Amino acid sequence: MEVLVYTTAHLTTIFVSKADSTGFIHLLKLPEKVSVLRTISHTFLSYLARTRQRPGVRLVLSLFARAQNQYIFPGSIDNPEKHVLDDRGLIKWWCRAMDPILRENDEESLANKDTSSADHANEVKATSATAFLIVPGCDSRETHIFFPASAKKDTRERPRWRAQYPVHQLCHDPSAPPRCLVPRFPDDPKTRFLIDLDDELPEPVEGENAPSGTGLWRSVRSLDQFWDLMSFRQECSAGRLVGFLWLVINPPGMANSTAMPGQTRASTNTDKPSNGAPKSNPPEADPQNQPSEEISATTEPVSSSVSESQPELVSSFDRPPTATAESPTNPYHWPEAGRGDVVLNEVDYKTMMEDILDHFYDEAEIVGSTKAFVEQVSSLADQLTWGKRVKGSRIVETTATEDAPVNNLTTGLIRKRKKSDNESNEKTEVPVLAETSEQFSTPSTPVEPAGINMLNSNLVRKKKKT
């Protein structure tokens, strides 16, 4: 699993870039109903969410679910035991993997509804979270099919899963142009669509009296229209469904209704392009790449582009009460707990990822390829050993099976068989057991046998002699 972590002054984004398996987990001979990969995925992402949480700063887990034979391990599709999910199955799989992280946090109120002061006070005491899902080409009702089974137990007033884009939680100005409301990540279909739409922007006009542009595209004028057109993109309309998933986590002291705090820059000529269009670059942060469940490789702490633009940031918002003294002009946040055993710079990390793609992970070369990968990381990090052995147990919840209640039919559902004429004339009595075993009912009078039915002579026809 490759995970990119971006930190800004007001938002921490954990983006799942790639996830894949070799398909050899069947060698552990685990029960079929136990999904070890889903357990590892949500445990690793939950660990990152806990270690990357900052006081007074939202955190969002973001991913793009697209079914494919292999992502990271070339040749793994040749393994007949590898279970490749289809498009719908993969979206549901990721929703079930994210749901335990969602349930670790409390529920939050709706951002568009007025909540009482008591509800607001209870909400800001603990960490709250809500999941958002968008499947291009599916409406809100069709998207609810992909939600996990636990979503049916949520109340309508405070749903934990929603079929929409969390624009109010991720953007400080939802009225900005659509190109400023969608983040850009590497190898992401949203980013490629944004780049294509940026070609529609007018060319900048040089000069002091040049008119300022609006920063709007010619074809797409709103965020809803952007998501509608995403369903016609090649990656989203190739006969398979894709899903965009966000899990927004609010720290204590911040509610869902709390809007993203804004930032104001010093009025310089370099703040905006000459055509007046606002910048839509992704938030500059420290992309910290987590290539697997057991290690984490990160880039250099501070880049030159971040350090040059940081002095221009000016705080123009009120911090939540629980916020610490962390300066908003320094969004860089790299806790020691989430660094892992190996720290690589950007060049060495790209070398490591390219080496993975140069090997095959089929049944014949899986051992040699894995050994080469471990040795290369040790060489790049200048460490003899690295990694940790993960060992744990899964608690299986057993539910007591109760005996099914007997379904007694009511008398209204019982139909009696109609008696024939002969049976209706005859009266039979059945002996009934008395209160004690020694007492029986008195025997009934014997019924006289029915007489012989003699035919009349007129009804008898003799056979003619031949």
Q: How many CB atoms lie within 10 A of CB 217?
A: 19
CA-nearest of 394, 381, 184, 391 to 291 is: 381
User: Which 3-state string (H, E, C) describes the chain?
Assistant: CEEEEEECCCEEEEEEEECCCCCCHHHHCCCCCCCHHHHHHHHHHHHHHHHHCECCEEEEEEEEECCCCCCCCCCHHHCCCCCCCCHHHHHHHHHHHHHHHHHCCECCCCCCCCCCHHHHHHHCCCCEEEEEEECCCCCHHHHHHHCCHHHHHCCCCCCCEECCCCHHHHCCCCCCCHHHCCCCCCCCHHHHHHHHHHCCCCCCCCCCCCCCCCCCCCCCCCHHHHHHHHCCCCCCCCCCCCEEEEEEEECCCCCCCCCCCCEEECCCCCCCCCCCCCCCCCCCCCCEEECCCCCCEECCCCCHHHHHHHHHEEECCCCCCCCCCCCCCCCCCCCHHHCCCCCCCHHHHHHHHHHHHCCCCCCCCHHHHHHHHHHHHHHHHCCCCCCCCCCCCCCCCCCCCCCCCCCCCCHHHCCCCCCCHHHHHCCCCCCCECCCCCCECCCCCCCCCCCCCCCCHHHCCCCCCC
Amino acid letter at 9? A
Say if residue 179 is exposed, middle or buried (CB neighbours under 10 Å; 0-12, 13-18, 19+).
Answer: buried
> Distance between CA 336 and CA 301 in Å, rounded?
12
The yes-or-no answer on residue 188 being catalytic is yes
Residue type, 7: T
Residue whose C-alpha is closest to residue 150's, from 93, 85, 100: 100
Q: Which of 87, 99, 188, 348 is catalytic?
A: 188
Phi and psi at residue 62, to the nearest 5°: -125, 145
- Please identify every residue annotated as catalytic: 188
